[in-house]
Amino acid sequence: MPESQPITVRQDVPGPERSIAYFSMEIGLESRMPTYSGGLGVLAGDTVRAGADLNIPMVAVSLLYRKGYFRQEIDGEGRQTESPVGWAVEEFLLETPPRVSVSIEGRAVGLRAWKYVVRGAEGFQVPVYLLDSDLSENTAWDRALTHSLYGGDARYRLCQETLLGIGGVRMLRALGYRNLLRFHMNEGHASLLTLELLDEEAKNAGRGVPSKEDVESVRQLCVFTTHTPVPAGHDKFPVDLVARVLGPRDLDPLRDCFHDDGVLNMTCLALSLSHFVNGVAKRHGEVSRTMFANYDIDSITNGVHAATWTAPPFQELFDRYIPGWRQDNFSLRYALSIPKPEVWKAHLSAKKRLIEHVNQTVRAGLDPNVFTIGFARRATAYKRGDLIFHDMERLKRISSRAGSFQMVFAGKAHPQDEGGKEIIRRIFQAKDRLRSAVPVAYLPDHSMEQALWATSGSDLWLNTPLPPLEASGTSGMKAALNGVPSLSVPDGWWLEGHIEGVTGWSIGDKTPVHREGRDPASDAASLYGKLENVILPQFYRAPDSFIDVMRHAVALNGSFFTTQRMMLQYVLHAYFG
Ligand SMILES: *Cc1c(COP(=O)(O)O)cnc(C)c1O
């Protein structure tokens, strides 16, 4: 995890010309800065870290979230409760002088920005500005707009997105970024930035109202990445709410972005006003093209920031055998030549770290000698965290016949996601039923730090989404960097990273059986079969060949599914293309 470090800012220096401005509703900068909720925010942080490594002139914008996402507590029955996270903003960030103002529901809402600096492997700096409306001049309601990530109702959310999109562009201008080359919208939350850019274009041309040419100029400036095929992931706001929040404006050039039922679809807004649009894996690109048939949608597969997501024992190992891997992640390809005993030793060290953490946190009594399955990601219905518990008698039989195993779970459910909360309760019920036959631990309050321990310290990384809903998934990429193979439903990135028995194993076959036709019983049966007949026997009785899979996970997947490769593709296709 990047440490917070003393920051020196020179406000007189204007932003570099031809920078990329990266906008994201959430961003994972440090584990203890609660400005992220899960995969999307971690990806945003990894994107900026990779940009800094590659010396890409970039600046990132998000909101501050003084009360964070939420702290998760779970009771003995698996019921999640949420509380605000208090954190000392000044310990991590430096306040910057400019103030800008955004009109919301007719009120002028003042905004300031806090600066965080991401330093690349060779010292190049990428600034991140977190917008804060908690200023004495604002009303209590407006001051709370940058308090909670994904909190509140549609009105609260639209106001937040107005601050991010419109306020973000104004803040960058006030900070001296006058000639930005591209605006990259990480998900539709940032789409309103296009309205501010349209107004700028119109104003520069001396027009009161944006014209068709202005729309074309803005399109050349914008890049949009869509992140999910789940409908709830695409923000839609009733046009009367939009009119109330943004005030009267001529939305005529944006008619295409409205559904006939009178909602502004933030994804359509971004799609209509971007010259390059992508999904986050090959399959997700295909699915997005069927969802939004009128648009040209490419794909750039997600990655993770290699140095951030490699646990210390593997960092040391790579430093010894593959010097330069931090600057050039592709060189992890040479992990195939690291001696197997060294790989195993590093893995045991990472595993010990995880098991100690689990036993300390939830007193689970896990055994570092026992095969450990990890599953840590957002708790939500389509991720099916409870699929492995479909047949608990079968699990007990597998454990006694093929070799014992234990499981580590973690993940937060969004406060309003009842389906996700139900998944956590079911995992707790399974834990009680399986007891010592198959020990199960659920770690509360998942974080980036815990994600590093879980993905590096497990022996197998499990993923059971309902296809095609896993747009990419990134935790399996973190596991791969640490030599931890995946057992996963073929969806998202795994369709690209999976080679059976070489980089891990698949659940069910690769033909795209999508959600309607997908039978959980047959996915569970396939999972059990792989575990009982292939994975456990190999782990306990042919460790040499298991370690060979571990090395291939690093060499074939760890080397490729990085944000370094991803950013090079953005440079090639979206930023400078
Ligand atoms: C990587 C990460 C995720 C994303 O996991 P998926 O596999 O994409 O579901 C979520 N939360 C945290 C804290 C992470 O570090």
pLDDT mean values, one per 10 residues, the chain (577 residues) = 44 64 98 97 98 97 98 98 96 98 97 98 96 98 97 96 98 96 97 96 91 93 95 88 87 69 90 96 96 94 98 98 97 98 98 98 97 97 96 98 98 97 98 97 98 98 95 98 98 98 92 74 96 98 98 98 98 91
3-state secondary structure 358-422: HHHHHCCCCCCCCEEEEEECCCCHHHCCCHHHCCHHHHHHHHHHHCCEEEEEECCCCCCCHHHHH
Residue 226, SS3 per DSSP: coil
CATH number of residue 507's parent domain: 3.40.50.2000
121 near 53, Cβ under 8 Å? yes
- Tell me if 571 is assigned to some domain: yes
Closest atom of ligand 1 to CA, residue 478: 1
d(CA 182, CA 200): 15
Q: How far apart are CA 167 and CA 278, in angstroms?
A: 25
Q: Is the CB of 497 under 6 A from ligand 1?
A: no
Q: Tell whether ligand 1 has an atom less than 6 A from the beta carbon of residue 474.
A: yes
Written as one string, the DSSP assignment of 407-442 is EEEE-PPPTT-HHHHHHHHHHHHHHHHHTTTS-EEE
The pLDDT score that the predictor gives to residue 10 is: 41
Closest CA to 310 of 447, 482, 467, 93: 482
pLDDT of res. 260: 66
The protein residue with its alpha carbon nearest to ligand 1, atom 7, reads 475
| Same domain for 149 and 226 | yes
Which of 458, 474, 563 most suits a substitution to test ligand 1, by most atoms within 8 Å of the C-beta?
474
150 in a structural domain: yes
Q: Which one-letter DSSP state was computed for residue 500?
A: B
Tell whether 229 and 289 lie within a shared domain: yes
Q: 475 lies in a domain?
A: yes
Say if residue 296 is in the same domain as residue 310: no
Look at strands 94-95 and 107-119 and give their pairing.
antiparallel
Is the distance from the beta carbon of residue 47 to the nearest atom of ligand 1 less than 6 Å?
Answer: no
pLDDT tens for 178-227 read: 999 999 999 999 999 999 999 999 999 999 888 889 999 999 999 999 99
Would you say residue 12 lies in a domain?
Answer: no
Structure-token pair, residue 295: 């648009």
pLDDT at residue 358, as a whole number: 98
Residue 62: the pLDDT is 98
* Cα angle 108, 110, 114; round to 5: 160
Greatest pairwise CA separation for the chain in angstroms: 77
531 close to ligand 1 (CB < 6 Angstrom): no
The token duo for 331 is 């060189």
* Same-domain status, 398 and 327: yes
How far apart (Å, rounded) are the C-alpha atoms in residues 562 and 305? 6
Query: Structure tokens of 531?
Result: 């575990």
pLDDT digits (tens, 9 = 90+) for 490-516: 999 999 999 999 999 999 877 666 767
341 inside domain: yes
Q: How far is the CA of 321 from the centre of ligand 1 (A)?
A: 28
The answer to whether residues 9 and 115 touch, using CB atoms and an 8 Å cutoff, is yes
The confidence score (pLDDT) of residue 258 equals 72
Asked if 520 and 464 sit in the same domain, the reply is yes
Residue 331's Cβ-count burial label (10 Å; 0-12, 13-18, 19+) is middle
How far apart, in whole angstroms, are the C-alpha atoms of residue 253 and residue 335?
53
CA-wise closest residue to 311 among 358, 343, 359: 343
Domain limits at 319? 306-560
- 158 and 293 fall within a common domain: yes
pLDDT of residue 2: 44
Residues 499 and 542 in one domain: yes
Dump pLDDT digits (tens) for 375-412. 999 999 999 999 999 999 999 999 999 999 999 999 99
Burial class (CB in 10 A: 0-12, 13-18, 19+), 187: buried
Q: What is the pLDDT of residue 87?
A: 97
CB atoms within 10 A of CB 500: 11
Question: Which pLDDT does position 4 carry in this prediction?
Answer: 45
Rounded distance between C-alpha atoms, residue 317 and residue 334, angstroms: 12
Write down the pTM of the prediction. 0.96
Q: Does a structural domain hold residue 11?
A: no
42 Cβ below 6 A of ligand 1: yes
Whether residue 4 lies inside any domain: the answer is no
Does 379 map to a domain? yes
Sign of dihedral through CA atoms 524, 525, 529, 532? positive
State the angle between helix axes of 448-457 and 39-53 in degrees (0 to 180), rounded to the nearest 10.
90
Q: Which residue's CA is minimally distant from atom 15 of ligand 1?
A: 448
Mutate to test the pocket of ligand 1, among 378, 417, 493 (most ligand atoms within 8 A of CB): 378
- 327 and 457 belong to one structural domain: yes
Are residues 247 and 337 located together in one domain of the fold? Answer: no
Pair 409, 422 in one domain: yes
Q: How many domains does the structure of the chain reveal?
A: 2
Query: What is the 185 CA–ligand 1 centroid distance (Å)?
Result: 20
Q: What is the token pair recorded at 121?
A: 């492997």
**259 and 373: one domain?**
no
Q: Which of 382, 383, 443, 475 to probe ligand 1 with, by most ligand atoms within 8 A of CB?
A: 475
| pLDDT in the model for residue 209 | 86
- Based on the fold, state whether residues 150 and 49 are members of the same structural domain: yes
Nearest CA-CA partner of 372 in 462, 246, 263: 462
Residue 243, Cα to own-chain centre: how many angstroms?
31
